[in-house]
């Protein structure tokens, strides 16, 4: 029982960055844009989010406030991802270039920017960029008081996570509501399903695509920051994110383009990633455990393609550019 | 309530543009990318001219540097060539990274186990064959599901990368580990290393031959024709009696086999061992190279060399001017962005307010209806 | 409204690359009437209306609404002038319900109950039958069209543009549509119908505006004109609208289809228990509402479909019959059966759009010859031959066929197929989108093939043409053969009834569509 709770607890923590990465890409793909640059945007978000917290603390010194650092890290990470997504949007939406290639270019560019900033900070600051332990707690500890966290079973299961987990769940619920219940959500889905129809209905295609992609990119990038500030221990290391962004792209399929599904999918993937610590099977080495999430994604991909259901398919115009005067 | 003015501009698709103008636009956008890069250097407080000069001299001036540059260009060009037939079919093989790794893994198996006992030519040929075979099989798995169940290949191939890289990590720390605890696979014996020609492993000759082959394969051969038809329309291919599934699997196998060969060249030509990041992002960069070259093998040579210059030059930049070498990724990204963006000005024209269309020219006075403008309706990355 | 016209076009021009779509078009229409915009396929009718609906923006000229010049830069602008268009290719989101589609593009809170109520109010007023909660992908063609029209009315349009609204409907459905249109006119709406069918023009419209090759020819009151005069305006010269139809000479069974059931790619049976025989030296017409199994039937014969059960026998001259079921197109060809197929989707199935004529000739011969290389010489020679014989207008045989006009595209396709000296010629909607002259070229080519002893299967949508061109007509309804009639003795009414009823009996239920009854028939 205890082991199970611990597994779930760790799975949620490990999945938190993925929740953001995936939800951002869900929003992007709903507009018909397949942005393969998630990894790049998460790198940018990670490096710049860390930088924001670090330099804030450096400037404020002992007066640095934890909540301010958290908010700054979120805002800067969001802005970094949104900037990357804006480049992608301009090239694919306004200039109608191929989405796959542009996304890959963003991936290369964003990884470069992230590494560059991380390295640059390291060199400038004499080899080590990390925030103080006092500030770290605001990033890594639960926002709930000890009394709530202390409730048997439920306390650890529900209230012991860092703030980013709860923010992710709120974003997921809001996004689901937006997509399914609001007029703008209906319009966004129409843009992703059939831009020509949406256009003929007087919907501003470019506006929806830009907004969804840029906001989606921002959300994804927060995931990079969350990874660096929680899992990686608030330090920039050279290997950075280790493929989290690509996993997020995969998760979008796994969750069938549903934001709430993204949260559960991320937890499942989080569990797969740490399972080797908790559930040792003799003969199967750790490293092979670590490829489980990818194998599971492949299996889901195959399963989805085997039983085709209209409602489970990707947005119909995913990956295509739209030009009104094309006939 | 309404702005009664004419819109500022509107867009129209362009029919054709003279070749010279096309290349002018591309050259201009390349320059624009370099200017953005220059601005970046300026912001960092470095002299942009000096930085670019360092990149160029650092990668080309000395024979040793030039060799390094060629060494970087070889896998990039090889992988771009490998991807060309896939992209010709509109099959989005994002898995070159993994296919390179798979090839390297297969070659390493033979190098470690038979590298000392078999004769030099035998071991090299067996390693190459194994690399091609395993790279091809690794690529063919997603292709099989694509052909059979129309499974999305973009994401499948992507996942395959991380699976095989995970396997290499396991081998590195487990069965193939050299010194216990080192997490490193031992170096290959010299007997299992490629000979050098002009100081660079002979892989560059293989890749040049491959370039010529790929050109003829895609433009003159029956299989190339099949690929072009499938790339245009799967239904047309079926109509023409082509066994689409068979051709897709065969072509992707070929692509994976060439990637595997690249992995072979990298391990027994350059690195002399296997490690998890043996592909080093080449699989992804090559996708953009192949796309920018519009699948023309000869254009791929130029683009690969250019990116290799950037990559090698950035290393020099780091040691001489203290700019992190990841700047090469940023520059590569900026160049890719601007090259992708400039295609817009080749395919579309912008008609400004007050400037009327210069009217029709040409042969066909009958307005189109069944005829579609170029490249619309292409289902990039989605159709089977 | 005063003396100003409801809508006026002044010197409108629009070009696509080198092609003239509209040139210097000027005319006007008044409110509260039905105008037919008449012209051949490719005469620029749709382009002109797309500019009124904000899909295209004119290169030159201006549009006036109620006397004042306006800029219609987007469909949104068009809505603000109360203009709405029902496009020929429906603009609907398949995954959405009727109500979601209809309310698309509106602002404010999403109140589904209010939307449904207004839809019911509109359908009640004009006599539409519509279920607001039905998903579009479950709808028949005529249901989709209803959604489109209601959508335009819902947005408050006073000017409705309908692009070829009757092309996909049965005679009975057309009758209902016209009743609705008259009701809307009586309600003060202006309606523009794009069409090339003269009988419908005469029946429904008050005025007719005629376009030819992108130019405006004239506008007349319907009561002052007749079909012959309109044809001359439309085509630019007098045409003898007659199709040559010699009697079949020595017809022998060539293709015998017995109890054939065909499954489409989604695994749904689209053709059920079909049996008929196609004879050499005759044109066998196949009629039916769009989507009644025509495509699946032809593709099954060509070896491109999954066949659930039944047989297709090919009877060559003086040889043993051969079974085609279970053979791939390659195996059919290797067995020496020369089967020509002109599919409905020309650029998506019959041709490679990005290649020139030469590359497209290779599509039938690329496998020929030993060795790894294709033989470009043969294909280039054949391309040149077809270009000369059929008068294909192209700069050279390497020029991408996608950029040719619709008529030339079809000439390339038909030319290649006939060049293989077929014994069976399958064709689907061979004249769709073509101008009158090219259409007659195609009819003549079909008849020539028939005279050569070829068994021609002609899937058509224009019943008048089917009645004039074919010897016999197989009528399909919902994937079943509902009748086989002699084209020389039957009439449109009989075929129309057969199209909507299996075995002469009207189907159960109100829906007359093919897709509507799909599940029922499968059950």
Is C137 within 8 Å of A310 when comparing Cβ atoms? yes
> pLDDT by residue (tens digit) across A126-173?
777 778 888 888 888 888 888 888 888 888 888 889 999 999 999 999
Q: How far apart are CA C138 and CA C515, in angstroms?
A: 8
Q: Is the dihedral of CA C51, C56, C60, C66 positive or negative?
A: positive
B191-226, pLDDT tens digit by residue?
Answer: 888 888 887 788 899 999 999 999 999 998 999 999
| Count of residues making up chain B | 384
Bigger pLDDT: B353 vs B348: B348
Three-state DSSP state, B78: helix
Tell me the average pLDDT across A289-313: 80
Q: What is the DSSP letter of C238?
A: -
Evaluate if residue C434 carries a pLDDT over 50.
yes
Across C332-420, the runs of DSSP E, i.e. the strands, are 339-342
Contact B52, B320 (CB under 8 A): no
The 3-state DSSP class for residue C103 equals coil
Within the 3-42 window of chain B, which residues sit less than 8 Å (CB to CB) from chain C? 3-7, 10, 12-15
Closest partner residue to B156 (CB to CB) among A290, A301, A318 is A301
pLDDT (tens digit per residue) in B242-255: 999 999 999 999 99
Report how far residue B101's alpha carbon sits from residue B170's, in angstroms, rounded to the nearest whole number. 13
CB atoms within 10 A of CB A118: 25
Q: What are phi and psi of C300, to 5 degrees?
A: -65, -45
CA distance B354 to chain C (A): 10
Does the structure show a pLDDT above 90 at A192? yes
Distance from CA of C142 to the nearest CA of A (A): 18
Mean pLDDT of A50-64: 88
In tens, the pLDDT along C451-464 reads: 999 999 999 888 88
Q: Do C7-235 and C241-338+421-523 have matching folds?
A: yes
Residue C287, classed as helix, strand or coil, is: strand
User: Among A203, A311, A324, whose Cβ lies nearest the Cβ of C104?
Assistant: A203
Q: Which domains does chain A have, with CATH numbers?
A: 2-312 (1.10.3470)
Alpha-carbon dihedral of residues B255, B256, B261, B267, nearest 10 degrees? 140
Substitution target from A35, A41, A123, A301 for chain B, most B beta carbons within 10 A: A301
Query: Quick check: C379 and C365 in contact, CB under 8 A?
Result: yes
Nearest to B285, CA basis, from B273, B274, B275, B293:
B293
8 Å CB contact of C15 and B357? yes
Judge: A325–C56 Cβ closer than 8 Å, yes or no. yes
Chains that touch C (3 or more CB pairs under 8 A): A, B
Indicate whether A208 pLDDT > 60. Answer: yes
Instruction: Please check whether residue C75 is in contact with residue A200, taking contact to mean a CB–CB distance below 8 angstroms.
Output: yes
The residue among B33, B339, B93, B92 whose CA lies nearest residue A91 is B339
- Residue partners of B88: CB distance under 8 A and separation at least 6: B218, B224, B227, B228, B231, B295
pLDDT band at C520 (very low <50, low <70, confident <90, very high): very low
Residue B383 pLDDT grade (very low, low, confident, very high; cuts 50, 70, 90): very low
Q: What is the pLDDT of residue C502?
A: 62
Rounded-to-integer distance, Cα C427 and Cα C343, Å:
6
- Tell me how far apart the alpha carbons of residues B187 and C253 are, in angstroms, rounded to a whole number: 75
* Contact yes or no for A95 and B330 at CB 8 A: no
C70-76: long-range contacts, CB 8 A cutoff, minimum separation 24: C70/B2, C70/B4, C71/B2, C71/B3, C71/B4, C71/B5, C71/B6, C71/B7, C73/B7, C73/B10, C74/A199, C74/A202, C75/A199, C75/A200, C75/A201, C75/A202, C75/C105, C76/A202, C76/A203, C76/A204, C76/C105
Strand pairing category for C60-65 and C68-70: antiparallel
The DSSP line for A290-316 is: TTHHHHHHHHHHHHHHHS--GGGSPPT
Q: Give SS3 for A218.
A: helix
- Give the residues across from B12 on adjacent strands: B349
| pLDDT at residue A148, as a whole number | 84
Question: What was the pLDDT predicted at A239?
Answer: 67
The pLDDT assigned to C509 comes to: 38
Contacts with A79 (C-beta within 8 Å, 6 or more apart), sequence order? A48, A218
pLDDT band at B93; cut points 50, 70, 90: very high
Bridge partners for C19 per DSSP: C16
- Of B258, B290, B344, the C-alpha closest to B89 is B290
Comparison of pLDDT for C105 and B383, the residue scoring more: C105
How far is B146 from B160, CA to CA, in rounded Å? 14
Lowest mean pLDDT among A68-72, A78-82, B341-345: B341-345
Q: Does C203 touch chain A (CB under 8 A)?
A: no
Residues A30-49 have a mean pLDDT of 94
Which one has a higher pLDDT value, A2 or C346?
A: C346
The shortest CB-CB distance from B241 to any of C333, C355, C374 is to C333
Q: Which residues of C touch A322 (CB under 8 A)?
A: none
Q: Which of B62-71, C365-374, C384-393 has the lowest mean pLDDT?
A: C365-374
Q: What is the pLDDT of residues A91-140, one digit of tens each?
A: 999 998 989 899 999 999 999 999 999 888 888 887 777 788 888 888 88
CB distance C471 to C266 below 8 Å: no
Look at chain C and count its residues: 523
Tell me how crowded residue B49 is: count the other CB atoms within 10 A of its CB: 10
Examine the pLDDT at C41 and tell me if it is beyond 50.
yes
Q: What confidence score (pLDDT) does residue A278 get?
A: 65
pLDDT the model gives residue C212: 85
What confidence category does residue C64 fall into, taking pLDDT thresholds of 50, 70 and 90?
very high
Instruction: Give B362's contacts in chain C (Cβ within 8 Å).
Output: 18-19
Whether C104 sits inside 8 A of A190 (CB atoms) is yes
Nearest CA in chain B to A97: B340
Closest CB to A105 among B149, B152, B333:
B333
Strand-pair partners of C135: C97
Averaged pLDDT for residues B123-149: 95
pLDDT of B259 higher than 90: yes
Test A186 with C104 for CB contact under 8 angstroms: yes
What residues of C are in contact with residue A182 (Cβ under 8 Å)? 110
Among the partner-chain residues C16, C53, C96, the one whose CB lies closest to the CB of A190 is: C96
User: C241-338+421-523: what fold?
Assistant: Rossmann fold (3.40.50)
Between residues 355 and 374 of chain B, which touch chain C (CB distance below 8 Å)? 356-357, 359-374
**Binary contact (B330, A109; C-beta < 8 A):** yes
Nearest to B371 among C60, C354, C404 (CB): C404
Which residue on chain C is closest to B373 by alpha carbon?
C403
User: Counting one residue from B and one from C, how many pairs have CB atoms under 8 Å apart?
Assistant: 177
Residue of C nearest to A191 (CA): C93
Q: What is the pLDDT of residue B7?
A: 59
- Given a contact as 3+ CB pairs under 8 Å, which chains touch A? B, C
Q: Looking at the complex, does the CB of residue C53 fall below 8 Å from at least one CB of chain A? A: yes
Q: What is the pLDDT at residue C243? A: 82
Out of A26-30, A225-229, C176-180, C280-284, pick the least confident.
C176-180
Task: Summarize the confidence of residues C381-406 as an average pLDDT.
Answer: 87
* Long-range CB contacts (within 8 A, 24+) of B120-125: B120/B191, B123/B191, B123/B192, B124/B192, B124/B194, B124/B268
Element (DSSP H or E) covering residue C412: helix C406-419
| Cβ pair B336:A109 closer than 8 A | yes
Whether the CB-CB separation of C200 and C166 falls below 8 Å is answered with: yes
Task: Please report the pLDDT score of residue B373 as a whole number.
Answer: 35
State mean pLDDT over A77-82: 97
Q: Calculate the CA B235 to chain-centre distance.
A: 28
Band of pLDDT at residue A283, cut at 50, 70 and 90:
low
pLDDT band for position A226 (50/70/90)?
very high
Mean pLDDT of the region B350-377: 43
Q: Give pTM, 2 decimals.
A: 0.84
Q: Is A324 on the interface with C (CB under 8 A)?
A: yes
Q: How far apart are CA C454 and CA B27, in angstroms?
A: 57
Nearest CA in chain C to A312: C95
B113 vs C433, more confident: B113
* Domain residue limits, chain C: 7-235, 241-338+421-523, 349-420
Contacts of A222 (CB under 8 A, 6+ apart): A20, A24, A45, A49, A74, A77, A78, A81, A164
Residues of A in contact with C266 (CB under 8 A): 308
Count of alpha carbons within 13 angstroms of residue A163, beta-carbon side: 17
C143 contacts C94 by C-beta, under 8 angstroms: no
C519 pLDDT above the threshold of 70: no
- Nearest-Cα distance to chain B for C289, in Å, is 21
Q: How many residues are present in chain A?
A: 327
Q: How confident is residue B347, by pLDDT bands cut at 50, 70 and 90?
A: confident
pLDDT number for residue B382? 32
Question: Which class would CATH give C7-235?
Answer: alpha beta
Instruction: Point out the least confidently predicted range of B107-121, B361-375, C81-95.
Output: B361-375
pLDDT exceeds 80 at position C170: no
Chain A: closest CA distance from residue C85 (Å): 9
pLDDT at C87: 87
Name chain C contacts of A196, Cβ cutoff 8 Å: 91
Q: Under 8 Å CB-to-CB from C153, ≥6 apart: which residues?
A: C84, C122, C126, C160, C184
Among A99, A297, A325, the residue with its CB nearest the CB of B13 is A325
């Amino acid at each position: 029982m205890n082991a199970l709770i611990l597994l779930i607890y760790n799975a949620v923590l490990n999945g938190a960055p993925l929740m953001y990465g995936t939800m951002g890409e869900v929003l992007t793909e709903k507009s018909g844009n397949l942005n393969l640059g998630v990894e790049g945007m998460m790198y940018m978000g990670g490096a710049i989010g860390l930088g924001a917290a670090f330099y804030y603390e450096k400037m404020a010194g002992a007066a640095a406030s934890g909540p301010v650092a958290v908010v700054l890290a979120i805002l800067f990470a969001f802005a970094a991802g949104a900037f990357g997504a804006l480049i992608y949007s301009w090239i694919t939406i306004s200039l109608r270039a191929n989405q796959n290639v542009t996304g890959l270019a963003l991936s290369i560019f964003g990884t470069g920017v992230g590494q560059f900033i991380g390295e640059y900070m390291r060199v400038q600051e004499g080899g080590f960029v990390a925030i103080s332990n006092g500030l770290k707690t605001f990033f890594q500890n639960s926002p709930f008081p000890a009394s709530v966290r202390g409730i048997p079973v439920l306390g650890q299961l529900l209230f012991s996570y860092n703030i980013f987990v709860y923010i992710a769940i709120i974003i997921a619920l809001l996004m689901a509501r937006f997509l399914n219940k609001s007029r703008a959500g209906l319009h966004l889905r129409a843009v992703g399903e059939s831009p020509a129809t949406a256009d003929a209905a007087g919907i501003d295609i470019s506006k929806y695509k830009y907004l969804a992609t840029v906001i989606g990119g921002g959300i994804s990038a927060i995931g990079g920051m969350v990874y660096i500030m929680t899992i990686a221990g608030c330090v920039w290391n050279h290997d950075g994110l280790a493929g989290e962004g690509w996993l997020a792209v995969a998760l979008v399929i796994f969750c069938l383009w549903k934001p709430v599904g993204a949260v559960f999918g991320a937890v499942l993937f989080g569990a797969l990633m740490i399972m080797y610590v908790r559930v040792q099977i003799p003969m199967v080495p750790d490293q092979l455990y670590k490829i489980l999430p990818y194998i599971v994604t492949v299996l889901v991909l195959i399963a989805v393609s085997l039983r085709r259901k209209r409602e489970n398919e990707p947005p119909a115009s995913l990956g295509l550019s739209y030009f009104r005067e094309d006939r | 309530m309404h702005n009664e003015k004419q819109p500022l501009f509107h867009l129209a698709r362009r029919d054709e543009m003279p070749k010279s103008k096309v290349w002018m636009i591309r050259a201009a956008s390349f320059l624009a990318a370099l200017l953005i890069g220059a601005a970046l250097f300026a912001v960092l407080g470095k002299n942009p001219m000096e930085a670019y000069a360092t990149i160029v001299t650092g990668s080309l001036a000395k024979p040793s540097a030039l060799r390094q540059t060629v060494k970087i260009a070889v896998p990039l060009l090889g992988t771009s060539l490998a991807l060309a037939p896939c992209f010709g079919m509109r099959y989005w093989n994002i898995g070159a990274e993994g296919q390179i790794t798979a090839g390297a893994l297969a070659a390493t198996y033979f190098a470690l186990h038979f590298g000392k006992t078999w004769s030099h030519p035998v071991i090299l040929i067996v390693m190459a064959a194994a690399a091609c075979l395993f790279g091809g099989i690794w690529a063919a798995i997603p292709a099989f599901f694509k052909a059979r169940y129309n499974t999305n290949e973009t994401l499948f191939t992507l996942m395959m990368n991380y699976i095989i890289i995970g396997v290499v990590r396991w081998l590195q720390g487990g069965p193939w580990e050299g010194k216990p605890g080192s997490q490193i696979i031992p170096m290959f014996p010299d007997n299992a290393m490629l000979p050098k020609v002009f100081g660079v492993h002979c892989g560059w000759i293989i890749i040049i031959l491959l370039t010529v082959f790929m050109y003829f394969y895609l433009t003159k051969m029956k299989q190339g024709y099949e690929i072009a038809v499938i790339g245009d329309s799967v239904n047309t291919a079926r109509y023409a009696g082509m066994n689409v599934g068979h051709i897709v699997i065969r072509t992707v196998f070929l692509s994976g086999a060439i990637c595997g060969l690249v992995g072979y060249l990298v391990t027994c030509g350059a690195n002399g061992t296997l490690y998890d990041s043996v592909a080093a992002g080449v699989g992804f960069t090559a996708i953009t190279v192949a796309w920018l070259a519009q699948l023309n093998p000869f254009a791929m040579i130029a683009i690969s060399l250019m990116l290799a210059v950037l990559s090698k030059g950035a290393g020099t930049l780091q040691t001489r001017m203290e700019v992190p070498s990841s700047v090469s990724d940023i520059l590569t990204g900026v160049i890719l962005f601007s090259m992708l963006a400039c295609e817009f000005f080749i395919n579309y024209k912008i008609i400004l307010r007050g400037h009327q269309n210069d009217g029709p020219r040409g042969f066909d006075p009958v307005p189109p209806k069944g005829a579609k403008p170029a490249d619309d309706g292409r289902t990039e990355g989605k159709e089977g | 409204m005063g003396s100003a016209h409801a809508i006026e076009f002044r010197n409108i021009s629009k070009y696509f690359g080198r092609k003239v779509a509209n040139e210097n078009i000027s005319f006007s229409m008044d409110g509260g009437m039905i105008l037919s915009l008449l012209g051949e396929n490719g005469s620029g009718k749709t382009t002109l209306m797309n500019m009124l609906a904000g899909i295209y923006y004119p290169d030159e000229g201006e549009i006036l609404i109620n006397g004042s010049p306006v800029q219609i830069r987007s469909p949104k602008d068009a809505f603000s002038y109360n203009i709405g268009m029902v496009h020929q290719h429906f603009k609907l989101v398949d995954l959405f319900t009727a109500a979601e589609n209809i309310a698309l593009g509106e602002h404010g809170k999403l109140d589904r109950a209010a939307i449904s109520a207004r839809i019911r109010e509109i359908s009640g007023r004009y006599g539409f039958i519509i279920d607001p909660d039905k998903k579009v992908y479950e709808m028949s063609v005529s249901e989709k069209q209803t959604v489109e029209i209601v959508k335009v009315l819902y947005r408050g349009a006073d000017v409705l543009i309908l692009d070829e609204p009757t092309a996909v409907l049965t005679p009975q459905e057309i009758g209902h549509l016209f009743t609705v249109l008259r009701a809307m006119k009586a309600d003060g709406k202006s309606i523009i119908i794009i069409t090339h069918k003269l009988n419908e023009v005469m029946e429904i419209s008050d005025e007719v505006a005629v376009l030819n090759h992108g130019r405006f020819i004239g506008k007349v009151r319907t009561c002052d004109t007749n079909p012959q005069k309109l044809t001359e305006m439309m085509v630019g010269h007098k045409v003898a609208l007659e199709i040559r139809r010699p009697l079949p000479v020595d017809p022998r069974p060539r293709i015998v289809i017995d109890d054939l059931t065909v499954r489409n790619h989604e695994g749904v049976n689209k053709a059920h228990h079909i049996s008929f025989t196609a004879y050499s030296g005759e044109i066998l017409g196949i009629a039916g509402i769009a989507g009644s199994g025509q495509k699946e039937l032809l593709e099954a014969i060509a070896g491109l479909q999954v066949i659930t059960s039944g047989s297709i026998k090919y009877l060559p001259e003086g040889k043993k019959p051969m079974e085609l079921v279970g053979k791939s197109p390659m195996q059919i060809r290797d067995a020496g059966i020369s089967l020509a197929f002109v599919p409905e989707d020309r650029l998506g199935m019959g041709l490679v759009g990005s290649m020139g004529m030469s590359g497209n000739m290779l599509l039938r011969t690329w496998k020929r010859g030993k060795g790894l290389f294709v033989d470009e010489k043969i294909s280039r020679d054949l391309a040149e031959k077809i270009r000369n014989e059929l008068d294909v207008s192209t700069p050279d045989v390497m020029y991408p066929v996608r950029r040719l006009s619709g008529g030339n595209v079809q000439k390339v396709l038909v030319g290649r197929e006939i060049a293989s000296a077929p014994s069976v010629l399958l064709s689907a909607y061979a004249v769709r989108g073509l101008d009158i002259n090219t259409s007659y070229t195609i009819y003549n080519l079909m008849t020539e093939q028939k005279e050569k002893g070829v068994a021609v299967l002609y899937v058509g949508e224009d019943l008048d043409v089917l009645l004039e061109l074919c010897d016999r007509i197989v009528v399909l309804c919902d994937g079943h053969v509902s009748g086989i009639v002699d084209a020389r003795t039957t009439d449109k009414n009989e075929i129309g009834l057969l199209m909507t009823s299996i075995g002469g009996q009207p189907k159960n239920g109100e829906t007359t569509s093919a897709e509507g009854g799909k599940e029922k028939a499968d059950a």
